[in-house]
Amino acid sequence: MEQKEIFDKIVHIIKTSVEKGKDVDMQMDTVLVTELAMDSLDRVLLVSEIEDTFDIEIQTEEMGSIQTIGDIVESIDAKINQ
């Protein structure tokens, strides 16, 4: 799966599950906490959606290093394209 396809799926998940996601023009460098106003619960729910969508597991330790949409895309890309 190409990173563009992963990005598009992530954007769709965010737009449908994060309140402010509908109003933000998302890019790879979009910051989850500041630009999307995501709190820790939002991030946990997002990770759960991502795990279900891509059939992967994201460890709790990894969640702390995920700051941008690009971080999510790279993490998923590494897991599914090993």
When comparing pLDDT for 81 and 14, which is higher? 14
| pLDDT of 7 | 97
Catalytic residue at 23?
no
Query: Does the structure show a pLDDT above 90 at 14?
Result: yes
CATH number of the structural domain spanning residue 56: 1.10.1200.10
Q: What is the pLDDT of residues 17-74, one digit of tens each?
A: 887 777 889 999 999 989 998 988 888 899 999 999 999 999 888 888 899 999 999 9
Instruction: Tell me the C-alpha distance between 67 and 39, whole Å.
Output: 12
The parent domain of residue 32 ranges over 3-80
Of 78, 3, 14, 74, give the one whose Cα is nearest residue 23. Answer: 14
| pLDDT of 63 | 84
The domain total for the chain is 1
- What is the value of pTM for the model shown? 0.90
Give me the catalytic one of 39, 42, 55, 77. 39
